[in-house]
Structure 1
Amino acid sequence: MNLNLLKEFFAGFLLSRRVARHFRRLALLDTLAQTGISREVPPTLAQTLVAAARSDADALFNMLDTHADGLSESQAEAIRERVGLNEVEHEKPLPWWMHLWYCYKNPFNLLLTLLAVVSYVTEDMKATTVISTMVVLSTLLRFWQETKSNKAADALKAMVSNTATVMRRHVSKDAAEDAQKYFDVVLHPKPAQRVEVPLKLLVPGDVIVLSAGDMIPADCRLLTAKDLFVAQAAMTGESMPVEKFAELRDSKAISPLELDNILFMGTNVVSGAAMAVIIATGNQTYFGALATRVTATDRAPTAFQSGVNKVSWLLIRFMFVMAPLVLFINGFTKGDWMEALLFALSVAVGLTPEMLPMIVTSTLAKGAVILSRKKVIVKRLDAIQNFGAMDVLCTDKTGTLTQDKIFLSRHTDVWGQESDDVLEMAYLNSYYQTGLKNLLDVAVLEHVDVHKELNPASNYRKVDEIPFDFTRRRMSVVVSEREDHHELICKGAVEEVLSVCTQVRHGEAVEPLTPELLARIRAVTADLNEEGLRVVAVAAKELPPRKDVYGLTDERELTLIGYVAFLDPPKESTAPALLALAEHGVSVKVLTGDNELVTAKICREVGLEQQGILLGNDIERMSDTELAKVVETHNVFARLTPAHKERIVRMLKNNGHVVGFMGDGINDAPALRAADIGISVDTAVDIAKEAADIILLEKSLMVLEEGVLEGRRTFANMLKYIKMTASSNFGNVFSVLVASAFIPFLPMLPLQLLTQNLLYDISQIAIPFDNVDEELLKKPQRWQPSDVGRFMVFFGPISSIFDISTFVLMWFVFGANTVAKQTLFQSGWFVVGLLTQTLIVHMIRTPKIPFIQSRAATPLMVMTGIIMAIGIFLPMGPLAHYFKLQALPPLYFVFLPMILLAYMGLTQAMKDFYIRRYGWQ
């Protein structure tokens, strides 16, 4: 077995806790929203927040021992040492003893512990030893593997950790060390700078800068705010984003949740821009106080978790029925009720899939490690199964189908003629806006020649800005040139800008915007769209220099100046990736807020055959019933709002699809959370990364396709174990019932049965490393727990046929038909039982002919080979007496290959029949 792969495999185990803990804030808010948890703010925190809300800026800075320019690094470090990291209690690593308890605490270990206690009380020390060994090995192995993975999990978590923009004052090292704190304010030779700081390193007194898409990292008091809207539904119950202000408008408000200048950890900025000072971090925040009162913060069980639970309880119920039957049959037929009890307990252990938790965890962890090498970071291990089950992928257009490198292709007047004036206006808008700078702004700002000509730092002064939001789909800045007038420059989506324009500039002339001109303008922009260009309209108006604060009401009666048109070429990898996804049963649907003409052209260029385009306005008019039908027949959706995207995803899920959604913007967050599997990228806004289950380090559908295949491999290997366990256990118990009814002694002693079960379980530890047939990767795979029961009924009795054949062989051929010769009988069945159980691993791991058409991976081949060798060695070697076995006659080994070959042949024939009738998952 490759040692490096083993190390990486071990390193992945703690992902299920350590990485997931960092991203549970939204899950906690979901829990709060769905339960009756009290949202009352603790009194001490409430007093602090109210006092901060009512204080003026200077008093607030004094209270927090900070400055308008923020803290210096030395001050921040000193405060951090005193108050700790900005992490809520639930997110901290578990202490080792609690971690050990969680590794132990599962239904199977608890059941085995009960059986060990019963064995001890009945003085069956050998059975007690074997059962205890199984429990201790399972628990310690899991604990050791998860503990070993701490460092790797932290490294993966750091790759997708969120940061905040913080103001840091620069103070000379000597001054920071020697001067008192109040001198620190004076001795900073450089102006404050904006730096990115991990959320956990923030401290009270830090001044942070916020824009659309940012998570609120702590409880804060606003210092400045410009059209700031915050989503805090889980905190206050308000479904719509609420506007926040720098000044407290209601001085009589006493509830912190009513303070409109206070921001809470865990909420997020929908639109606008702001600066705020942190009041409280970690457990001292409102969010932290809630986290300490909520014990169950995990999300609702996924389809995968529900499937594992159903299979587990199916086997447990089966055990509770079969074990008493074995007890009563043996008790009445043999007369030794104590021996019958011990044997029934051993049967119960044999029916218990005690390795299921470890096999599932290890298979998922191995998948996570392999995906991390392919630039896919898994935040929740259970998401891997959904990755493999996904049959519909909804994705945005920019950066996924296209290169995510936008070029400014054209800058024209309203009639499509080149215009430098439009470029200059667009440049000023992008240069002075402080909100979320997107790729369009970056493309405009790359025109350094315009910067040199305009020299905005010297010739212009920014007066104010009206930030972007997803309802208006435009933003404006107000600048002053030579202080004789103010110029409002608006840039945004064509229709949204046209809605606030009343005039059109043509050359030096300005004309009213008539219906005829409007139709002509739309024709010009449509022609640009059909060339694959994304068109952004630019409008402006002159204003007298009478005020310094502007708002949404000022965006009216504008003059349309022209357009800037951008080209975002399709990626070369997109077409083959779409083809590969289609070949693997994943249909791709494009959900974008962009223009339908641009979207259609990109789809044509990447080979995505359009099955109809649906616009956001059409979705608004549809009922859920109508939309549920339309989402099946259309694969391109344009001009969508965030609510439209979320609604489409929900309709697809309601139709029975396993839906993945890939997005990176704040407008994608609702859909990411609604999808079965949310997929984002490491460069996404905070709220998108928080809502996603999987983070891509490379925004590519090809990477996604590799993730889908790995998800299916992971799922297939887990399903192998469950099928093997279910069918093998069923067959063994059926054989035990037959033997108990007709044989005057126990067909196998409790110690032998437990040893056989332990060896069989060990043989399956290598299943996570097994190969998966290519055919099983072609289609999405999902949990169907009912199939496991049917599979168990079809394949379990096959082993019973050969068990009974072995009974007959030992009884009539070898004369093991008396109590005096029971050891020979038990030895013969011990070997056949263990070898057939081990062979079932190879028979059921593939629908093909094992060893010929499909070979297991080397680790699994080696492990099963070793266990089969041990199974033969125990009765034939020096340990036979300890296990109450005896050496088998040479003639036995003539019959043994015949039994095994016949068993494999009949199992293969049953596989062919089963596949024709039910298929093979």
Structure 2
Amino acid sequence: MNFTLLKELFAGFLRTRHIVRHFRRLALLETLAQTGVSRDLPSTLAQSLVAAAKSTPEALLRQLGSHADGLTEAQAEAVRTRIGANEVEHEKPLPWWLHLWLSYRNPFNLLLTLLAIISYLTEDMKATIVIGTMVVIATLLRFWQEAKANKAADALKAMVSTTATVIRRDLSQDAAPDAERYFGVELHVKPARRVELPIRLLVPGDVIVLSAGDMIPADCRVLSAKDLFVSQAAMTGESMPVEKFAIQRDASAINPLELDNILFMGTNVVSGSATAVVVGTGNNTYFGTLASRVTATDRAPTSFQSGVNKVSWLLIRFMLVMSPLVLFINGFTKGDWMEALLFALSIAVGLTPEMLPMIVTSTLAKGAVFLSRKKVIVKRLDAIQNFGAMDVLCTDKTGTLTQDKIFLARHVDVWGEDSDEVLELAYLNSYYQTGLKNLLDAAVLEHTEVYRELDPAKNFRKVDEIPFDFTRRRMSVVVAEHDEHHVLITKGAVEEILSVCTQVRHGEAVEPLTPELLARIRQVTNNLNKEGLRVIAVAAKELPPTQGTYSVADERELTLIGYVAFLDPPKESTAAALQALAEHGVAVKVLTGDNELVTAKICREVGLQQNGVLLGSDIERMSDEVLAEAVETHNVFAKLTPAHKERIVRMLKANGHVVGFMGDGINDAPALRTVDIGISVDTAVDIAKEAADIILLEKSLMVLEEGVLEGRRTFANMLKYIKMTASSNFGNVFSVLVASAYIPFLPMLPMHLLVQNLLYDISQIAIPFDNVDEELLRKPQRWQPGDIGRFMMFFGPISSIFDLITYAMMWFVFGADTPEEQTLFQSGWFVVGLMTQTLIVHMIRTPKIPFVQSRAATPLMVMTAIIIAIGIFLPMGPLAHYFKLQALPPLYFALLPLILLAYMGLTQVMKGIYVRRYGWQ
């Protein structure tokens, strides 16, 4: 056996030995006894967090079975197998049996079940079977459709995964020391590497790297930090970011929220950088503990859900009034109270919109699947309707109006002349910074010729870094050149850089920054802005090599060196998209942190008519009342901070608008949380993606326009079902009241009502796939329960007129005027009632003439034909006696088309009157 093979075998043995040794130590942080823990947490979790904060990094890593260079892949997999994925309990899907129960558990199905039980006790097995079938079908339809919708939504969400940067090490890092110590064998050691992993794969002991924009993926202990500021607003309500450190400064702190070196799942990094070790995942986190307490509590309804609920209760209240009336009228006039009770319960069932949840869910799911084909991922199904209701879209400039392909166009000195020194300093700054690297840094680093010339690895050494934040709007790095001196290089927004400069470089000379020079500098930068260039200033300062750490206080008395100017050309599709949105009633407002000159030029190039530009400094001075007026009259807002964006959105919502916001940066997260519909992109920072309702795989306004149309199409189809159900139910109950008062027998048996209702509901399954008139897509649409009530009162009595005509026809033409002939009467009304209910679908789905000016989608047409055929087959076929129906005479089918055509004609005339008076949503 050769020596090389022997070394490999021994290395394998050491790896195995190390795995076994470390797997024994893999455990969650032990619970330590402490007193006075936070009342918000179970004592064990609070104690664990406090203990983690007070442990030394080395002791904590040992306790977690980890290492300064993180876990190996095998170790992480072993822990994950034992404790599960990093998921909060309430985010996991429901077990099928619980989902099935929830699909059944609604007032409508409970009412049907009660009716089935009464039918069984009265030995009416046929009614029991029919009612039971209706319950089973309604429950299974909802279960199947929601399961399919959830599966589609989960698949779409899986396309957008939030990741964390994790340090992974190779086993040879542990095997190497043992090999060298015992056998003198030197093994090849792979360095620890950084990998991007979905946050659900994180386990306790993982060492992660954090920078500005990252969401904290689990409860963590900070190991090292550089100017780390974290927003904990979601946990504590604090509006200002909190600085975190690698050590716990207050040894007496016992409340986890007061710990300086503990990071909580769900919060986000505002600025700075850090490494941290995961100490808790999933339900064993602060967030997970709080979330698990509300698992059994329903979420607060959204505006969309509130609209659906209001409509449902409108119909249910109507049922609670009408059913007792039917009961007492039939009980007193017919004398059979049990039959009257069954009939009243049947009326109650007929009035309940039992298919509404299924129609809503399937329509939204169909919209989500359609949008997925358009590269739009819907995280929350209800957001689709908000998409359609949106009338104001606020958007950033970069990457939305522009191509998001920034390139470095100019690198000039203070006077606007080309300068290689400016490019070199900007390159060093971008090369060494570890915070939030953006497209501007990427554009600078594309100049690889600068790297070859400077050779940073050989000639420079990074000393320290002062990360970017949105208050200073600049960032700095300190480098040592051949260890002779330190150079602080700062780049950022022009005004913010000028505020810390006292000198300017002109050629080889350095001059004081006088008011005259300041005016000339602003003239140069304004000229660059007018060309559509985004200008970043570069300044520097030489320092003696005596300091090891630097802070914001060192950013002073700098020398302005020059500017790097970037170009982000407008997208070719932007102008067409803006025009399309305008035609569909969506006003676009640009909210950007960039300066007003660049923003104005881009807006002109894409054809966005400017109605005045409002700056962040102007907004600072405005009261809410003044700003509420200003947001209506302006459509371009520049030099904004995150707080400005959020405030503008709040004012627009307060003015009654349904507001969408499209953003992808850290500074967009507050606004994304505030709007009615938050829109982000798959390349956005974690916190922006988490805050958004909609994720775009393509950052384009044209895609948004398609989303708006699909949202309106979805809403229009839901509204059809509600209008049909409301008007049809009202008409049927009115007809029943008249018949109950004057006819000596029940106009229809409870079983007839239930079968009719079941067939009608089945015909509605195709509504989510129906076409929508173009005219109904041009304006935003919202829930208006009052309009639905008016619609019900307006169109409901129309069907009652033809029900009364049918009564008269059956009574006088066919002689069905005695209890002995009631089956013929009931069969005649059953067919007319079912057909008018089915045809109302086509009459109310459009304000136009149905079948001529506006034709339903093929699935709905086919479903209508099938239900009509079944309605005629039941009394005429071999099953008639089973349903207590009988065959109708030929003359009936000669008169039937006349009734139906007259019904459709009168409905069309009334539609014209309604549209002229109230419009058609």
Does the alignment reach a TM-score above 0.5? yes
Q: How does 1:32-431 map to 2 (within 5 A)?
A: 40-148=40-148, 152-171=152-171, 189-295=189-295, 300-431=300-431
Q: Partner of 1:817: helix, strand, or coil?
A: coil
In 2: Cα distance, 1:683 partner to 1:77 partner: 28
TM value normalised by structure 1: 0.94
SS in 1 for 2:169: strand
**Cα deviation digits, residues 118-150 of structure 1 (max 9, x gap):** 333343333332222122112112223444566
Letter of the aligned partner of 1:165 in structure 2? T
Matched ranges for 1:472-491 at <5 A: 472-491=472-491
The equivalent of 1:447 in structure 2 is 447
Determine the C-alpha separation between the residues in 2 that align with 1:617 and 1:230: 25
CA distance in 2, matches of 1:610, 1:310: 40
Q: C-alpha separation between the residues in 1 aligned to 2:627 and 2:227?
A: 34
Letter in 1 for 2:223: L
Deviation at 1:151, TM superposition (A): 5.4
- 1:864 counterpart residue number: 864
Aligned to 2:14: none
Deviation at 1:436, TM superposition (A): 1.1
Decide whether the 8 Å contact of 1:170 with 1:188 is kept in 2.
no
Deviation string 1:283-324 (CA, Å, 9 cap, x unpaired) is: 111112212222366653222111100010010000010001
Deviation at 1:39, TM superposition (A): 5.5
Checking the alignment, whether the CA contact within 8 Å between 2:153 and 2:379 is kept in structure 1 is: no
- Rounded Cα–Cα distance in structure 2 between residues aligned with 1:119 and 1:173: 76
Instruction: State the Cα distance separating 1:55 from its structure 2 match.
Output: 2.0
Q: CA–CA distance in 2 between the matches of 1:673 and 1:658?
A: 14
Q: Deviations over 1:246-297 (max 9, x none)?
A: 1221122222211101111111111111111111111111112212222366
| CA deviation map 1:864-908 (0-9, x unaligned) | 100001111111111111111111111111110000000000000
- The answer to whether the aligner puts 1:753 opposite 2:753 as a matched pair is yes
Give per-residue Cα distances to partners, 1:147-186, cap 9 Å, x unaligned.
456654443222112000011112369979x99xx99xx9
Work out the CA distance in 1 between the residues paired with 2:910 and 2:597. Answer: 55
Q: Name 2:656's counterpart in structure 1.
A: 656
1:464-500 Cα distance to aligned partner (Å, 9 max, x none):
1000111111100000001111100001011111111
Paired letter, 2:555:
E
Q: Which residue of 1 aligns with 2:826?
A: 826
8 Å Cα contact 1:39/1:235 also seen in 2: no
For the residue of structure 1 that corresponds to 2:191, the secondary structure is strand
SS at match of 1:518: helix
Deviations 1:420-468 (A, max 9, x none): 0000000000000001110000000000111100111111000010001
- Aligned mates of 1:855, 1:828 — CA distance in 2: 29
Spell out the pairing of 1:764-913 with structure 2 (5 A cutoff): 764-913=764-913
* CA distance in 2 between partners of 1:175 and 1:767 (Å): 65
Check the 8 A contact 1:473/1:493 in 2, yes or no: yes
CA-CA distance at 1:548 after TM superposition:
1.2
| Equivalent residue letter for 1:562 | G
CA distance in 2 between partners of 1:351 and 1:545 (Å)? 84
Which 10-residue stretch deviates more, 352-361 or 148-157?
148-157
Give the letter aligned to residue 457 of structure 1: A
Assess if the C-alpha contact under 8 Å between 1:171 and 1:188 holds in 2: no
1:856 Cα offset (Å): 0.5
One-letter code aligned to 1:843: M
Report the equivalent of 1:5.
none
1:215 counterpart letter in structure 2: M
CA shift in 2, pair 1:388/1:592, >3 Å: same
Distance in structure 2 (CA, Å) of the matches to 1:837 and 1:148: 29
**Map 1:610-759 → 2, pairs under 5 A:** 610-759=610-759
Q: Residue 464 of structure 1: SS of its match in structure 2? A: strand
Contact kept, 8 Å, 2:534 with 2:566, in 1: the verdict is: yes
Cα distance in 2, alignment partners of residues 832 and 714 from structure 1? 30
For the residues of structure 2 that align with 1:134 and 1:399, how far apart are their CA atoms? 52
Equivalent residue, structure 2, for 1:35: none
1:458 counterpart residue number: 458
Question: Which residue is 1:572 aligned to?
Answer: 572
Judging changes above 3 Å, is the alpha-carbon distance between structure 1 residues 432 and 649 closer, same or farther for their aligned structure 2 residues?
A: same
Relative to 1, partners in 2 of residues 1:579 and 1:90: Cα closer, same or farther, differing over 3 Å? same
Matched position secondary structure for 2:610? coil
> SS where residue 661 of structure 1 aligns?
strand
SS at match of 1:412: strand
5 Å-filtered alignment, 1:509-528, equals 509-528=509-528
Contact residue 146 and residue 362 of structure 2 kept, 8 A: no
Give unpaired runs (5+ residues) of structure 2: 1-37
Whether contact under 8 Å (2:229, 2:242) holds in the other structure is: yes
The answer to whether the 8 A contact 2:723-2:844 is kept is yes
Deviation of 1:47 after TM superposition, in Å, equals 2.3
Conserved in 1, the CA contact under 8 Å of 2:811 and 2:825?
A: yes
Unaligned runs of 5+ in 1: 1-37
Where 2:249 maps in the other structure, the secondary structure is: coil
Q: Secondary structure at the match of 1:170?
A: coil
Shift of 1:372: 0.6
Q: Which amino acid aligns with 2:260?
A: D
Separation of aligned partners in 1, 2:145 and 2:320: 32
Structure 1 distance, partners of 2:142, 2:319, is 25
Q: Which residue of 2 aligns with 1:8?
A: none
State the partner residue of 2:15.
none
Q: How many residues align?
A: 879
Report the residue type matching 2:648 in the other structure.
Answer: I
In terms of mean alpha carbon deviation, does 500-509 or 58-67 score higher? 58-67
**CA offset digits 1:325-353 (Å, max 9, x no partner):** 11111111111111111111111111011
Counterparts in 2 of 1:255 and 1:168: CA distance versus 1, 3 Å: same
Instruction: Give the equivalent residue in structure 2 for 1:29.
Output: none
Contact 1:658 1:676 in 2 (8 A): yes
Asked whether the equivalents of residues 39 and 290 of structure 1 are also in contact (C-alpha less than 8 Å), the reply is: no
* Distance in 2 (alpha carbons) for counterparts of 1:150 and 1:774: 30
Per-residue CA deviations over 1:203-228 (Å, capped at 9, x if unaligned) read 11111000111110111111111111
Q: Is the 8 Å Cα contact of residues 169 and 188 (structure 1) preserved in structure 2?
A: no
For the structure 1 residues 737 and 421, does the alpha-carbon distance in structure 2 shift closer, same or farther, using more than 3 Å as the test? same
Q: Please tell me the residue identity of whatever aligns with 1:623.
A: S
Q: 2 CA distance for matches of 1:826 and 1:254?
A: 76
For 2:860 and 2:363, locate their aligned partners in 1 and report how far apart those are by CA, in whole Å.
Answer: 13
Aligned residues: CA RMSD: 1.8
The one-letter code of the counterpart of 2:606 is V
Matched residue SS, 1:765: helix
**8 Å contact from structure 1 (residues 485, 544) kept in 2:** yes
Residues 837-880 of structure 1, C-alpha deviations (whole Å, 9 max, x = no match): 00000000111100000110000000010000111111111111
Q: Distance in 1 between matches of 2:623 and 2:107?
A: 45
Aligned 8 A contact 2:223 2:274 in 1? yes
SS in structure 2 at match of 1:437: coil
The 10-residue stretch of structure 1 (332-341 or 847-856) with the greater mean CA deviation from structure 2: 332-341
* Cα distance change of structure 1 residues 677 and 205 upon mapping to structure 2, 3 Å threshold: same
